[in-house]
Structure 1
Amino acid sequence: MLRTSRVLHPITALGPGRRLGIWLQGCTLACKGCMSLDTWEPGAGTGVGLDHLRSLWQEAVRAGVDGLTVSGGEPLQQATALREFLASLSLEGRDVLLYTGYELGELDDEQLGVLDHVDAVITGRYVAGAQPGLIWRGSANQRLIPLTPLGEQRYRPFVELATGRAQVQVRVDDGLLWLVGVPPPGVLPKVERRLRDNGIVFEEAAWRP
């Protein structure tokens, strides 16, 4: 079982192409300025069986997905179950991108074992105010590291790619509004204020303490 915050498909703002996105629940790194405070509490979210997650992946494959993005929370704080899940997938040329707040040198053997089933990883804690400038990353210290031949093929062109605009996708699922991606610092409160001016009020927002 993996404790998840949300599973969305398709997502287009966290990796190349159309992707299945899985956000795992629980993070003790507690980066200041994190936009996903709702994913911190380990006991929140929903426990989802690996068989069900595999079925969601198979549905996404049938719909023409290009890859899988795993984020959080901190995915590597559920390393054992995550490794089992990734190892069981039939990828057939589709890639796996993993976000982690850890640096590679901090990982233990179990966490490194997860990376055996990952094509590219984005590492490093979110640092508020460190303007990213690079695609798919929230702050300038974070690195995109290809790990496999497929990862080299798909991600090497993006390692140093600067983006002049935020990669953000807006989705509505089950009555909830999701902003998927890595918006620049200060953008989310502006979005909230603009929506409020148009009569749309958030009862809760993941980026608010």
Structure 2
Amino acid sequence: MHFGTIKYFDIANGEGVRTSLFVSGCTHHCPHCFQPQTWDFSFGEEFTEATLNAILESLAPRYVDGLTILGGEPMEPANQAGIAPLVQAVHAQYPHKTIWIYTGDIYENLIDEHSPRHTPFTNQILSCINILVDGPFIEAKKDITLRFRGSSNQRLIDVPRTLSEKRVVLWHDKPLYSTHNWVPHTQ
């Protein structure tokens, strides 16, 4: 697995202060993707044990809330073998920190054992993460007022509750943010 960049102290890609890993490789090729350079599976640097250790070290401060993985496409079948040990290591070392994954895939396709998007690593990954932001970016549904997603078709899924209840359970933001409506300033 390769990655394009790691952003430390990121506040845009999940709740709180986070380390965000942008993996390489994506076959979705969503129109108007904000990172088309990451479609190439060999873009950037190879993810190594030193990369893993740097991420783990970056999560140590108490003010860092967790890890976000996006891309590219973390849930590409070719990337899942690299994502699984990463989320397992983070979950084991920092069980109280959250792990978010952004995917252009749909949750139902990931859990369907007959889907080409489901691999031997999918269930391991899902069992370690807290939030899955699923669905492709769709320009016609773009909404800049949405928090942590770009288009209204994308869902923020509470994965532990979803797995426990065996149905998709959406994550609910803090009331302050969930009731916010962006109103353009007019003069």
TM-score band, normalised by the shorter chain? 0.7 to 0.9
How much does 1:60 deviate? 3.2
Matched, 1:20 2:13: no
Distance in 2, matches of 1:138 and 1:82, equals: 23
Q: Distance in 1 between matches of 2:45 and 2:22?
A: 11
When the two structures are superposed, what TM-score results if normalisation uses the length of structure 1?
0.69
- Matched residue pairs, number? 159
Secondary structure of the residue aligned to 2:64 is coil
Matches within 5 A, 1:182-197: none
Label 1:120 to 1:81 Cα distance change in 2 as closer, same or farther (>3 A).
Answer: same
Match of 1:122 among 129, 133, 142: 133
Q: Is the 8 A contact 1:50 1:85 kept in 2?
A: no
Q: Which residue identity is paired with 1:144? A: L
SS in 2 for 1:58: helix
- Corresponding position of 1:76: 75
Q: Please tell me the residue identity of whatever aligns with 1:97.
A: W
Which has the larger displacement, 50-59 or 79-88? 50-59
- Secondary structure (helix, strand or coil) at the match of 1:156 reads coil
The answer to whether the 8 A contact 1:70-1:97 is kept is yes
Asked whether the equivalents of residues 126 and 142 of structure 1 are also in contact (C-alpha less than 8 Å), the reply is yes
Stretch of structure 1 that moved more, 137-146 or 105-114: 105-114
**Letter in structure 2 aligned against 1:87:** Q
TM-aligned CA distance change 1:164 to 1:45, over 3 Å: farther
Q: Is the 8 A contact 1:20 1:57 kept in 2?
A: no
Q: Which of residues 148, 165, 176 in structure 1 aligns to 2:160? A: 148
User: Partners of 1:65 and 1:122 in 2: how far apart?
Assistant: 20
Q: How does 1:154-193 map to 2 (within 5 A)?
A: 156-158=171-173, 161=178, 163-164=180-181
Give the match's secondary structure for 1:23: strand
**Closer, same or farther: CA 140–30 of 1 in aligned 2, 3 Å:** same
Contact 2:19 2:58 in 1 (8 A): no
Superposed displacement of residue 164, structure 1: 4.3
State, as a whole percentage, how many aligned pairs show the same letter.
23
- In structure 2, how many angstroms separate the alpha carbons of the residues matched to 1:131 and 1:10? 26
Deviation of the 1:117 alpha carbon: 1.0
Give me the whole-angstrom Cα distance separating, in 1, the residues matched to 2:53 and 2:181: 36
Mapped contact 1:134–1:163 kept (Cα < 8 A): no
* Structure 2: gaps (5+ residues): 111-117, 162-169, 183-187
Report if the CA contact (8 A) 2:59-2:67 is conserved. Answer: no
Q: Does residue 45 of structure 2 align to residue 46 of structure 1?
A: yes
Q: Is the 8 A contact 2:101 2:129 kept in 1?
A: yes
